Amino acid sequence: MALILHDVTFEMVPTEVRLLTAMTPAGFPSPAQDDMEEPIDLASWLIDHPAASYVMRVSGHSMVGAGVADGDMVVVSRAVEARSGDIVVALVHGDRTMKRLRRRGDRMWLVPEAEGLPAIIVDEDVEIWGVVVALARRYRT
């Protein structure tokens, strides 16, 4: 399956990995278990609407307070309606940015989650490209 977004074609390539059924506590260690489920396709697990979604790499540090770091990959869905509190990808005066959408009455802002950066008032020169619905990060290369 291919996705075309703003004249760029993206190929959807399923990749399966094995899924461990046991939950892994992030606190105290627990006894190891050998329970394995059937393989899981990470793309289908992360992407609910493949025809209306794309994956993009994050550049910059304006969303570190939300746990989104430079170099992370995010899944962006155009099938999800943006609500106040969502992290969105927007086109602002021709430049792409990722910020948290905030609404108060009829006013909307794109708010960074890093100190010292200003919020952007959403006006007619701002287009919401989609809602960030998933994040992927590599710890080792």
* DSSP-derived secondary structure for 96-118: EEEEEEEEETTEEEEE-SSTT--
Is 99 among the catalytic positions?
yes
What number of residues does the chain have? 141
- CATH number reported for the structural domain that contains residue 111 in this entry: 2.10.109.10
Q: Comparing 32-36, 95-99, 137-141, which segment has the lowest mean pLDDT?
A: 32-36
What is the predicted pLDDT for the residue at 93?
A: 87
Q: What's the whole-model pTM score?
A: 0.75
Domain that holds residue 104: 2-136
As a whole number of angstroms, the distance between CA 31 and CA 136 comes to 27
CA nearest to 90, candidates 133, 51, 129: 129
User: Residue 113 is encoded by which pair of tokens?
Assistant: 């989650």
Question: Cα 8 from chain centroid?
Answer: 19
The active-site residue, picked from 30, 62, 77, 84, is: 62
Tell me which of 63 and 6 has the higher pLDDT. Answer: 63
pLDDT tens string 53-95? 888 999 999 999 999 999 999 999 999 999 999 999 999 988 9
Average pLDDT score, the chain: 81
The active-site residue, picked from 53, 59, 84, 99, is: 99
- As for how many domains the chain has, the answer is 1
* 141 within a domain of the structure (yes/no): no
Is 53 among the catalytic positions?
no
